[in-house]
Amino acid sequence: MTFMLTAARRTAALTLCAAAALAVPFGASPAGAAAADEPGVLLFITVTPSNGGGAYSMRLTCDPDGGTHPRPRTACAELHEVDGVIKDLNVDPGACPRNYAPVDVQVRGHWYGRTTSYDRKFENDCVMERTLGALVK
């Protein structure tokens, strides 16, 4: 009986070790190597109209340009012009209708190692698009 209990414990221990080994993803790389594979820029952009309809989110990467953003090359080029300082964007200054339909924009992420955070409520989507350009289009 003692032998069976010991064998059961040994089997349970081996099973736990095997499960732990399988829990580590195959091809996992050291932390330093993973950081080298990350893009230079990673931004999460959320646009939310105050009326609740038509909200959307996207992910933008630069170096390499991509993510779920529809126009990553243009958005990255516009951001490079202001060294990633989103509040300095003013892509297409000009007139917009004076209708009040507020839109909230939130951007979180990093720009070449620097943490980036941006929150602003625009009077309407025209003002938002003229200010932020391809970042939100």
Q: How do residues 118-130 score in pLDDT, each as one tens digit?
A: 999 999 999 999 9
Q: Which helix (H) or strand (E) holds 122?
A: strand 114-122
- Whole-number pLDDT of residue 36: 55
Q: For the chain, what percent of residues have pLDDT higher than 90?
A: 66
Q: Give me the pLDDT at residue 97, please.
A: 94
Whether pTM exceeds 0.85: no
pLDDT tens string 43-89: 999 999 988 788 999 999 999 999 999 999 999 999 999 999 999 99
Q: Which residue has the higher pLDDT, 23 or 134?
A: 134
The single-letter DSSP state of residue 71 is S
pLDDT in the model for residue 57: 97
Location of structure tokens 């646009």: 47
Q: With contact defined as beta carbons under 8 Å apart, do 116 and 84 qualify?
A: yes
Query: What is the DSSP code (8-state) at residue 51?
Result: T
Instruction: Please name the residue that has the structure tokens 């081996």.
Output: 14
